[in-house]
Structure 1
């Protein structure tokens, strides 16, 4: 009888778990040296990888992973959290080092905090933009940061978002219970890897399925024993343990080898699609990079399809049109403005329902009689939470230090201290909006939030391009960091990891990422021209172009007409997509994404086409090849991660070769200016 009651309790625990309750006991080891060291190691690899791809395409490894629709229906996975968790698990299995699920959370949290600095500190956007300044156009000479000044700048923006996360966590995760689909998906994978009770029952309940009724007087009949090999979670865990490391190794080596070959023979990555003329004049080439293919797999078919639709419109229609009518001398600059209008319109429209709901809830909260409800009570003990005094002192000190450091680095002529203070305040407000958008839609509209800050500072410090760019960067950094870290806190909440342990990992990861990111950027800057053929840094032109527009108000001929037209069209599309997504309609993911569409404008066709190949592979694999199991999803994620990391890690070796003067073997087939490794 006792055994039967114990089995009933265990069965009920498995089926009654919801995403808002921890999966395991808090007594498990969490913040350990091995977890932090492994997280830092993975994060440093991500840091180089994100900087490498960010300077190439402006779209770093914060992509959406489309998991099998019969298992996890989530898209737009970001920051390689899931990949970090799987790689950390694989390394521990290889070294025969046992880790707990909570340690796995600390690994991926630390890795993400380390790897996100290239974007949070603006090394793929605002830092290259400052180096493009022209004294005649912008009233300021180009600003090139030294190693020391770049470290100081990074310190100014590295911690504000970290200290903002704990109070926002209580609001959006504990009280409002926002979904944060990517964080939930990562928790599901960790639960699979460690054979924990699945979070799927809670998700099924949210989507209309009824979990086991705990009020039943009679205990349910226990199922007959089944073969463990038929359990999809055990199967998935076994796949990762037995096949995952092999798949990761081979995909890593394949991608790295192809990257090394393309370094010595650059034409490999610049294959003309429609002849030499279109390749030279209109940049219609194909880059058979396995890392791009892996990114396409991770992003999913709908996102890559949106990106390539934008590429076709931008590079196949608008660029030739502008050149034909003499609106612009070349293919890039003119369509950049239309891309900016699309991104801003899409991001801002997506924010409207989030801001409206947030304001409505604030009003309703003030209308109640002042009593606190149970919904705002945390399920963690005080010793596992981040103390409020730490948060207050951290926000105050990071803001004060940030204001001082920005003034020391850029001087009073760049941005006034009072303006920097306003940018931090604005960043905290935008962080809340960005986090809420991320929690509901799984998309952090940082590009639109940064543009809001630039618009505001066009009024506060008119005519100052440097101040406009820096203020936008400060505000965007806070929103970016707070959003990235909130997904990890959602994962930790589901898996039962201590928020304080994750907070420690975030602080340590953010600290180490500063010298790693700065050193990597300085090395890339010395070895390559940034922006240049190898690293075009497209988002740098977005920042600088908007700042220039707000300074003198001039646009290329006929550009305003197309900007307004595309902004209106994608505002309507974004509104329809947001409405369909909130209602859970099946076709919502096939409605074009404005941000992805605009990225297709920013990047040359070579970057988009290879990702489309990956998206097609992902779609065919899930619809025609894979069975309806978690092991298939994890296997594909492992292979895609190996592709991405292979080129990212190999880029470090290529950087060393280029620094020591080791160049290409042959420039055969390269047109003038087409190949980054060959002389023009």
Structure 2
């Protein structure tokens, strides 16, 4: 919460949660053993469930949209004073629906589509490494590889921190291909997290990302920047593989994981009924909290949210990027324009929070299902753990927010507690009440064109013979660099290049070690986020700024 209110950035702490859960519970069971109290061994399934509960709890703290009554552009009554009752009620009303929206599709996403969910995979490899029997030679080799690259990634992130003391500083802003390319985000930012994710994702996903990066940051944005005077708003800066040694074991493991994952069935009727019941509660409760949010706005949001949640979860499975905030922005603009000037600001912000919460929780749950699939954990246990963590988050987050809100000057742009994204979302809502007239010229035409391209590309992938369809890029993956920059795509392609080269040199070892090495890179970089967050909370800044400038 503190990081959210000061910098607006909330890191992913799945790896940290898994590690802390292991350390605490292993120490607890060992302490009980020394006291002569018999206890069951601490298992990887328990580790997974605790990690899921912790992540569900802290994820609730990532949501806020607020601004004071004197914020520029506000109209009378377009604000609501924070209070423990309505904040807790709102979170309880909207947070649980996301747990049920995609439950009927979990087998499709995890088993049929075989989506990688790199963060979920990395967390599972970490947990499996903690609980691997020492006698398994293959597992021991994987654990050794994981540990080696985990340590390398962690200390590399630690080393990078010393040079990142300021805006656009450090190795993450290294102009690999020159300053001109750097200005268009074409550079390698030394993020081992995304290099590892690229090693887990398929070559097609990574090449689609790179194609999207060239199309957006290499072609479209430079052309659009030349026309910025004509816009009201400008942007901010399948062949069958040969069998390999050990493949039979890997196939049997996969079949066993699929059998365990499918065995513990969650009835679809329960998910549908629960979604309907919770939606009815939200349709009744939310308009009572915010009179600007009409009941039919909530109905429309809950009708659209499952489709948006599927799109986001599918994209997260391909690229490891959770785009929930962008889907929330779509809802914000639509509802703000629909509600009009008098009530559009509040309606847009509430609708944004509602859709973003559902879409984000659905994607987080699929990440956890992937972890559970790889650690042989019951899906029902994962759902229950997620629900318990969500209840905790719905109670703890408002209390924590009000503690900061009453003790500090939250939302002051000149102060320490800037709450930067509160003002950003508020201004987007104020802009949204103007409707389509607020968009740049030809924005809708471009939207229609790319929508048509996405439909055509997916039809080609489904209808054309395999020898042609495997070369058709993935529109979902192509769209990600439009929003996050080209450097992310370059990181992922470097991971893909490592895997391709490794398979050329030693296919047998690559098949065994790539998941472990990639997970080590992701987890090491991810674990550094925890001490880095503690340093930020203690107001300890990096001592140096490494930056580059042109000599001309």
TM-score (norm 2): 0.65
What aligned pairs does 1:424-463 form with structure 2 within 5 A after superposition? 425-426=302-303, 430=307, 457=335, 461-462=339-340
Are the structure 2 counterparts of residues 251 and 305 from structure 1 closer, same or farther at C-alpha, using a change threshold of 3 Å? same
Greater Cα shift, 419-428 or 91-100: 91-100
Match of 2:174 among 266, 271, 280: 271
2:347 alignment partner in structure 1: 467
Q: CA deviation at 1:317?
A: 2.1
| In 1: Cα distance, 2:439 partner to 2:477 partner | 24
| In 2: Cα distance, 1:663 partner to 1:448 partner | 30
Are the structure 2 counterparts of residues 628 and 457 from structure 1 closer, same or farther at C-alpha, using a change threshold of 3 Å? same
1:651 alignment partner in structure 2: 532
Q: CA deviation at 1:506?
A: 1.0
Matched, 1:161 2:42: no
Match of 1:412 among 280, 291, 304: 291
2:514 alignment partner in structure 1: 633
1:140/1:466 contact within 8 Å kept: no
2:345/2:430 contact within 8 Å kept: no
| In 1: Cα distance, 2:474 partner to 2:430 partner | 22
1:423/1:474 contact within 8 Å kept: no
Q: CA deviation at 1:141?
A: 9.6
2:253 alignment partner in structure 1: none
2:234 alignment partner in structure 1: 333
| In 2: Cα distance, 1:321 partner to 1:638 partner | 39
SS at match of 1:557: coil
Q: CA deviation at 1:252?
A: 1.7
| In 2: Cα distance, 1:655 partner to 1:240 partner | 34
The superposition leaves residues 85-127 of structure 1 with CA deviations (integer Å, 9 ceiling, x where unpaired) of 7997799889997433532442454355346546xx656xxx4
Are the structure 2 counterparts of residues 574 and 440 from structure 1 closer, same or farther at C-alpha, using a change threshold of 3 Å? same
Are the structure 2 counterparts of residues 604 and 195 from structure 1 closer, same or farther at C-alpha, using a change threshold of 3 Å? closer
2:336/2:433 contact within 8 Å kept: no
Match of 2:498 among 617, 621, 628: 617
SS at match of 1:600: helix
The superposition leaves residues 573-630 of structure 1 with CA deviations (integer Å, 9 ceiling, x where unpaired) of 23334557xx8x4776653332332221223444544444344334434554563566
SS at match of 2:508: coil
Match of 1:181 among 114, 122, 125: 114
Are the structure 2 counterparts of residues 430 and 651 from structure 1 closer, same or farther at C-alpha, using a change threshold of 3 Å? same
Matched, 1:422 2:299: yes
Matched, 1:569 2:453: yes
What aligned pairs does 1:210-225 form with structure 2 within 5 A after superposition? none
Are the structure 2 counterparts of residues 604 and 183 from structure 1 closer, same or farther at C-alpha, using a change threshold of 3 Å? closer
Q: CA deviation at 1:239?
A: 3.0
1:435/1:486 contact within 8 Å kept: no
CA RMSD of aligned residues (A): 5.8
| In 2: Cα distance, 1:456 partner to 1:559 partner | 15
SS at match of 1:412: coil
TM-score (norm 1): 0.55
Greater Cα shift, 514-523 or 558-567: 514-523
Task: Specify every segment of 5 or more residues in structure 1 that has no aligned partner in the other structure, as ranges.
Answer: 1-46, 62-78, 197-227, 337-377, 673-680
2:211 alignment partner in structure 1: 309
| In 2: Cα distance, 1:87 partner to 1:561 partner | 50
2:47/2:127 contact within 8 Å kept: no
Matched, 1:600 2:495: no
1:102 alignment partner in structure 2: 45
Q: CA deviation at 1:636?
A: 1.3
Point out which structure has higher relative CO (alpha carbons under 8 A, 6+ apart): 2
Q: CA deviation at 1:474?
A: 1.6
Are the structure 2 counterparts of residues 578 and 175 from structure 1 closer, same or farther at C-alpha, using a change threshold of 3 Å? closer
1:306/1:596 contact within 8 Å kept: yes
The superposition leaves residues 325-344 of structure 1 with CA deviations (integer Å, 9 ceiling, x where unpaired) of 444579x93599xxxxxxxx
The superposition leaves residues 288-321 of structure 1 with CA deviations (integer Å, 9 ceiling, x where unpaired) of 3444444444555543433333333322322222
| In 1: Cα distance, 2:207 partner to 2:377 partner | 37
| In 1: Cα distance, 2:271 partner to 2:439 partner | 47
Count of aligned pairs: 496
Q: CA deviation at 1:632?
A: 0.3
SS at match of 2:473: coil
Q: CA deviation at 1:430?
A: 3.8
Match of 1:318 among 202, 217, 220: 220
| In 1: Cα distance, 2:72 partner to 2:151 partner | 49
Q: CA deviation at 1:395?
A: 6.9
Match of 2:358 among 475, 478, 493: 478
Q: CA deviation at 1:238?
A: 1.5
| In 2: Cα distance, 1:275 partner to 1:173 partner | 44
Q: CA deviation at 1:652?
A: 0.6
1:259/1:289 contact within 8 Å kept: no
Are the structure 2 counterparts of residues 572 and 191 from structure 1 closer, same or farther at C-alpha, using a change threshold of 3 Å? same
1:446/1:476 contact within 8 Å kept: yes
Match of 1:553 among 437, 456, 467: 437
1:307/1:598 contact within 8 Å kept: yes
